Structure 1
């Protein structure tokens, strides 16, 4: 279950770990903020990526979710 903070900050910066998994480092309201933060992180070691975490930002339950599934 996602928190309210995750819902209002859908842009996430993930770090790819050597084990093949990833770790959410920070969340932002705007993509430009996430890109700026990621550019600072890339100065050090590690592989980072910005992604829109749509699952926590737009739940697909209820009438809206039914409409989305009906179109697919």
Structure 2
């Protein structure tokens, strides 16, 4: 059966993308020397963030990381 190749689906990626970003509220921040922070990764659960921070501490032992709850991820991006 031939397919309709001219059909364009409505572009609704933005609302879905915003929703997905809101799901990932737990983040790992790297503490920088100038007292600022840089978000390294985002997670849906604190448990996943804690597991990944243990891995980061083994791989990069001379850096400081902390788990943070980022309720407004788009405003906190550095």
What are structure 1's unaligned runs of at least 5 residues? 57-72
Larger helix fraction of residues? 1
What are structure 2's unaligned runs of at least 5 residues? 1-16, 74-78
- Offset from partner CA, 1:5-24 (integer Å, 9 cap, x none): 32110000000011111000
Radius of gyration: which is bigger? 2
Q: TM-score, length-normalised on structure 1?
A: 0.67
1:52 alignment counterpart: 69
Q: TM-score, length-normalised on structure 2?
A: 0.62
Q: Secondary structure at the match of 1:15?
A: strand
Moved over 2 A (4+): none
Q: Distance in 1 between matches of 2:70 and 2:64?
A: 18
Comparing 37-46 and 22-31, the one that deviates more: 37-46
2:25 alignment counterpart: 10
